[in-house]
Amino acid sequence: MADICLGLDHQDASQKRLANVVDVLDVIHVSGYVWSAGRALYGKSQSSVESFVRDRLLRILQGQAEGVIRGIRRMATERGLGGQKLKEVTTACNYLENNLERMRYDEYLAAGYPIASGVIEGACRHLVKDRMERTGMRWREPSAGSMLFVRALEVTGLWEPFQTHRQAVECQRLHPHQTLLNDYTPNLAIAL
């Protein structure tokens, strides 16, 4: 099973990557750049911009991101864009091009990976915010970490297995030679 790294910012290519990490660019972030390119290409025609964005995002999700980038650049050239509009299209295309390796959404979806941070944000809200931000609560890092650990056990349904494990570990710590007593039978004749 691979770990999923869902992020917004482009990571330095020279940074060492772990072999079992799948780096996914949040598709919501990608959509912002596609919207920017669409507005630069179509101006105030909202229906045209929406149609453009819907079509390009669908193609990106289908694994055709390179073709989308080439098409947007070609449209800008054919329309003779200049100035700020050309800058917006260029910025969007450069960003998408620089992040192609993190935009293999067809593969991610086939593998069941999340492609947007909503799942993570929802989990954070449920796990952290609902417990930690109640009225009048103040936390310091050590106690907050302990509380989040307990909350995670409860939310995931692992409270009982954890308690069983914790008790076994504590028993071993407090009574390291307990196994010697397993086969012990007292000799009552000697005691008399």
Instruction: With a cut of 50, say whether residue 13 has pLDDT above it.
Output: no
- In the DSSP assignment, the letter for residue 179 is G
What is the length of the chain? Answer: 192
pLDDT: which is higher, 58 or 120: 58
Banded model confidence at residue 99, pLDDT cuts 50, 70, 90: confident
pTM (2 d.p.): 0.57
Average pLDDT of every residue of the chain: 81
Percent of the chain with pLDDT over 90: 20
CA distances from 178 to 61, 79, 106, 182, 183 (A): 59, 82, 55, 7, 10
Q: Which residue has the higher pLDDT, 180 or 192?
A: 180
User: Span 155-181, mean pLDDT?
Assistant: 86
Q: If DSSP codes are grouped into helix, strand and coil, which group holds residue 4?
A: strand
* Residue 152 scores a pLDDT above 70: yes
Q: How many CB atoms lie within 10 A of CB 85?
A: 17
Residue among 147, 158, 117, 119 nearest 32 (CA): 117
Domain locations in the chain as residue ranges: 3-111, 118-179
